[in-house]
Amino acid sequence: MKQRPRIYYSETQKALMWDRWRKGDTIHQIAKLFDRGHSSIQRILSEAGGIQPLQRHRAPRALTLGEREEISRSLVSGLSIRSIAARLGRAPSTISRELQRNGGSQGYRASQADAIAWERARRPKVCKLVRNQTLARVVAAKLKLQWSPEQIAGWLRHAYAVNKDYLVSHETIYRSLYIQARGALKKELLDHLRRSRIMRRSRHHTLKTEGRTNIRDAVSISERPATAEDRAIPGHWEGDLLYGNATSQIATLVERQSRFVMLVKVVSKDSEAVVDALIRHASKLPRELYKSLTWDRGSEMTDHNRFTVATDIEVYFCDPQHPWQRGSNENTNGLLRQYFPKGTDLSAYSQAKLDAVARRLNERPRKTLNFDTPAERFNQIVASTG
């Protein structure tokens, strides 16, 4: 089989790649635009860790190619440095330095001087995590606790508010992880991120597809009380099943106001087993802290009426193909994948082990809570209702 010649993409083509990557296209979809294999696209994207490099530009006061061509023509005409400077509106010292750097009056070539200046202007900035190794160790320790880069950056702003040397953005942490050439954080720390990828993925990209069933007597999320929608009053929960392998799953519950997480062991995904587990769990919380439950349209909740009769808790359902309507739970399930990767046998986890994982997650700071932890917010709710 004849091997296709290697393609060298233009800057315009690379810009198109990055644009489609930001919009959530897969590498295979982008490759089709150029009628090439996906590996040639992946090579370009992965070199930058999936993060589009900043576009280089010339400093406003730098000499342009047009000015350098004018210098070259003026030299041929025999004009002095001061005359050339006056013609261009530049200082004579600027013209003098330009000539000294690029072969003098006799050897000056405009295009060559411009290319050298562009290359000389590179200023690779040393990453803050390279300069401050103590900060790098703090960041690495928090990553090993499954904290996200955003949680780490937010925590640092609180913990080191008076010491700017210990402040770093979450974007810097991501870049240091995905672009190993920086030499700031070890590649092994990628395994502690919520999703173990080798490069950054667009927030618009999703691999999730759900086949959902119709639920009899389902009460639409549009009928949920306004106090639940605006998170003004605690006690409104979102739930779903998190699957491990094909035969194991757990129920995940998130309180909308505090983002407090509770995990419930279920023996199977049939509706009777799920509802039985949720009824038992509901009895552990005071009625003031469990007013409603919002669920996706999965078949595991076809027996929702029995849950409502047994607990006096109304169940609301998302619109078909709208799982993001219970966004707190969707986000939490993503966080839980750090502890329960796909394919894990969840039946091996006891309720005590699930409680330990939930506790670990509830003690992580959250951006949406101004970097308080869900445990702190939920404890405040419990104290106020007591």
Tokens linked to 149? 């880069």
Residue 279 confidence (pLDDT) above 90: yes
Residues spanned by the domain of 19: 11-47
3-state class (DSSP) for residue 38: helix
For the cut 90, the answer to whether the pLDDT of residue 284 exceeds it is: no
Asked if the structure places residue 360 within a domain, the reply is: yes
pLDDT digits (tens, 9 = 90+) for 123-135: 666 788 888 889 9
| Lowest-pLDDT range of 10-19, 100-109, 141-150, 205-214 | 205-214
In a domain, 192, yes or no: no
Together in a domain, 291 and 345: yes
The predicted structure's pLDDT at residue 363 = 93
Confidence of residue 59 (pLDDT cuts 50, 70, 90): confident
Measured between alpha carbons, how far is 153 from 173 in angstroms, rounded to an integer? 8
Domain's final residue, options 120, 143, 163: 120
Tokens for 84, please give them: 């050339």
Residue 195 lies in a domain: no
Contact 289, 381 (CB under 8 A): yes
- The owner of tokens 């160790």 is 137
pLDDT tens-digit profile of 187-229? 788 777 776 666 766 666 554 444 445 678 888 888 888 888 8
163 is a domain residue: no
**Per-residue confidence at 73, pLDDT binned at 50, 70, 90?**
very high
Q: What element of type H or E holds 249?
A: strand 249-255
Co-location of 107 and 17 in the same domain: no
* β-sheet bridge partners, residue 243: 249
249 and 365 co-located in one domain: yes
Contact 336, 361 (CB under 8 A): yes
Q: Is residue 78 part of a domain?
A: yes
Provide the pLDDT for residue 352: 95
Same domain? 234 vs 307: yes
Same domain, yes or no: 116 and 235:
no
The verdict on 316 and 272 lying in the same domain is yes
- Of 320 and 80, more confident: 80
Q: Based on the domain organization, do 240 and 381 belong to the same domain?
A: yes
b/e 152-187 (16+ beta carbons within 10 angstroms → b): bbbbbeeeeeeeeebebebebbbbbbbbeebebbee
Mean of all residue pLDDT scores within the chain = 85
- Integer Cα distance of 273 and 267 in angstroms: 6
This prediction has a pTM of 0.52
Whether 194 is in a domain gets the answer no
Q: Which residues contact 279 (CB under 8 A, 6 or more apart)?
A: 306, 307, 310, 311
Give the type of residue at 8.
Y
Q: How confident is the model at residue 16 (pLDDT cuts 50, 70, 90)?
A: confident
- Classified as helix, coil or strand, 201 is coil
Number of other CB atoms surrounding residue 41 within 10 Å: 25
The amino acid present at 211, given as its one-letter code, is G
Instruction: Compute the average pLDDT of residues 48-72.
Output: 82
**Residue 185 placed within a domain:** no
Contact 295, 316 (CB under 8 A): yes
- Tell me, yes or no, whether 153 lies in a domain: no
Out of 114-123, 134-143, 210-219, 370-379, which region has the weakest mean confidence (pLDDT)?
Answer: 210-219
Question: Is the same domain home to 381 and 239?
Answer: yes
295 & 374 share domain: yes
Residue position matching structure tokens 């062991």: 265
| 254 band by pLDDT with thresholds 50, 70 and 90 | very high
Domain total in the chain: 3
Given 76, 105, 120, which residue is the final one in a domain?
A: 120
Overall average pLDDT of the 265-292 stretch: 91
Q: What is the pLDDT of residues 155-190, one digit of tens each?
A: 998 888 888 888 888 888 888 887 766 677 887 887
Residue 224 makes CB contacts below 8 A (sequence gap 6+) with: 236, 292, 294, 316
pLDDT number for residue 211: 43
Q: Report the interhelical angle of 351-362 vs 374-385 (nearest 10°).
A: 100
β-strand partners of 293: 237, 315
**Higher local confidence (pLDDT), 47 or 204:** 47
305 and 357 share a domain?
yes
In tens, the pLDDT along 295-338 reads: 988 889 898 999 999 999 999 998 877 778 888 998 899 889 98
At residue 217, what is the residue type? D
DSSP code at position 14: H
The pLDDT value recorded for residue 97 is: 92
Which of 229, 236, 251 lies closest to 333 in space, CA to CA? Answer: 251
DSSP β-ladder status, 249-255 and 261-265: antiparallel
H or E element: which one contains 385? helix 374-385
Looking at the structure, do residues 112 and 223 belong to the same domain, yes or no? no
Question: Do 374 and 230 fall into the same domain?
Answer: yes
- In angstroms, the CA 1 to CA 77 distance is 59
Q: Show which of 102, 120, 138 is a domain's final residue.
A: 120
Residue 213's pLDDT is what?
Answer: 54
- Tell me the CATH number at 336: 3.30.420.10
pLDDT digits (tens, 9 = 90+) for 231-246: 888 999 999 999 998 8
User: pLDDT-based confidence at 82, cuts 50/70/90?
Assistant: very high
- Residues forming a β-bridge with 265: 250
